[in-house]
């Protein structure tokens, strides 16, 4: 009995090695990362479900996984586009400087690409761009490769735009919501 009690107590005080493990990640959300000369990009698979405040974006659209060639095409056009004219309406004074600020820092933004087909059947890209870095434990897949990054009160540091690959036009430019 004394031997059994000693054995049980010894188990309580033995230090077992703890192995750091990555939190389980849903397989449908891991993006393929591309480091292009002008940008650090993430191409999300067709079955990834971008969410904003528990609302699924792009719901009900036919989806596809953007290729590296499609990202390169979008990046070439992004470098040329006048963001102040994307929505064909004047920016109010609060946002008036955002396009210039963004253009001056364009290479610093990380990009998240989600492919979908619009109502006309054109292949399009939802492009989410942000500058913020989030500290994460080592050994984990970075959050920006697992899920849509969205922060409130980001100003020009966080924005998104849609790009029609067929017409090579940008539309529906949005700055992240105010907090």
The structural domains of the chain, with segments of one domain joined by +, span 27-175
**Residue 87: its pLDDT value, please?**
81
In eight-state DSSP terms, residue 88 is: S
Measured CA to CA, the distance from residue 86 to residue 169 in angstroms comes to 8
Question: What does the DSSP assignment read for 18-84?
Answer: ----PPP--GGGPPEEEEETTEEEEE--TT---EETTEETTTTS-EEPPPHHHHHHHHHHHHH--GG
For 104, 113, 123, 142, 169, the CA distances from 116, given in Å and listed in that order, are 29, 10, 6, 24, 15
For 3, 4, 109, 148, the CA distances from 38, given in Å and listed in that order, are 68, 66, 10, 21
In eight-state DSSP terms, residue 124 is: E
**Residue 162: its pLDDT value, please?**
95
**Residues of the chain with confidence (pLDDT) below 50:** 1-26
The reported pTM is 0.80
């Amino acid at each position: 009995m004394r031997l059994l009690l000693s054995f049980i107590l010894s188990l309580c005080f033995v230090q077992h090695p703890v192995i750091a493990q990555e939190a389980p990640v849903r397989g449908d959300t891991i993006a393929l990362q591309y480091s292009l000369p002008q940008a650090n990009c993430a191409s999300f698979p067709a079955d990834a479900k971008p969410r904003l405040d528990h609302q699924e974006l792009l719901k009900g659209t036919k989806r596809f996984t953007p290729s590296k060639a499609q990202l390169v095409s979008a990046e070439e056009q992004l470098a040329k586009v006048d963001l102040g004219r994307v929505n064909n309406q004047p920016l109010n004074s609060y946002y008036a400087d955002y396009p210039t600020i963004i253009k001056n820092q364009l290479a610093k933004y990380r990009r998240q690409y989600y492919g979908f087909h619009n109502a006309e059947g054109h292949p399009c890209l939802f492009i989410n761009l942000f500058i913020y870095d989030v500290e994460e434990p080592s050994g984990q897949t970075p959050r920006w490769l697992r899920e849509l990054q969205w922060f409130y009160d980001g100003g020009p540091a966080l924005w998104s735009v849609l790009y029609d690959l067929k017409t090579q036009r940008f539309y529906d430019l949005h700055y992240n919501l105010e907090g």
